Structure 1
């Protein structure tokens, strides 16, 4: 493999590491918010809390959330190349789809779309420490680039494992929630509490 090939591969792997890092940080924050809301709901009267518990679960098990979390269990490093791939994934993770802004009559190069994308890159810098003056991978020799690629692959594999763990928890939570609909309210109320308790405080996500 030529040095250029190794550099292109490094670009793809780096973009994937960034996508997974940001995505997993958002998933972790989602679970933390559910735990915080659950604790705060204890001060609510049972009848009102019943609805709040359902809302907590529905918020983290929507089809959109499950799809995004599932994507974190997959290595998409070969889907796109370099920075263009990172921009593509940034748009996907921020909820944008190709042509959506144009279809709504918005300016694709500004306004809401630009704000979402700039926010994504700010999150990248906050979470990963990425900066505009990061060292150029081309300054390394082939062997060092190859080693860095291997390191990135191992990191991606570890993060994919975390993503799969999060997805499995949410998928199981969703199935339990659907099954609980057949329960009488008093029984379901306790089941809803148990569902949430079983899905918070996991430091492996």
Structure 2
């Protein structure tokens, strides 16, 4: 069984027919670190499930990379605006580690929703989950101090400093790498 089917089954039991259709529609790949799943100007045609590895979403702002988010094993990854509007992306989706990913195209996903009404429930719950995460990130960046943002990141992603470059973490937290280094040095 594909790993994401067990993940989906935990949300809502997947019927045998839907399971077969998902298996038929899914592509699986082993990809190297630094591989770009998406570049600006490309249309996001796939939704990815990360079996193993780590993905960073980022944009360029005045020539500087600004990390929007990090997703790891058992997360779904898309460029939200590009995927749902089928318009060119403004962001990069980069693998920070070698990864095993499973993906379904936008067209296949829409066909699955149409053919299997029960799958719409699963899709809605996943969209709600990631929308809430996105809103929490935006609120934390606006309303929290640098120290609070740092503490929340450590709580939510305790292994991040072993897996992600300091400059990517700093840009995600909205601070200079030097500020992040000072915060880390103050920790007991």
TM-score by length of 1: 0.29
TM-score by length of 2: 0.31
Task: Return the index of the structure with the highest Cα Rg.
Answer: 1
Larger strand fraction of residues: 2
Larger helix fraction of residues: 1
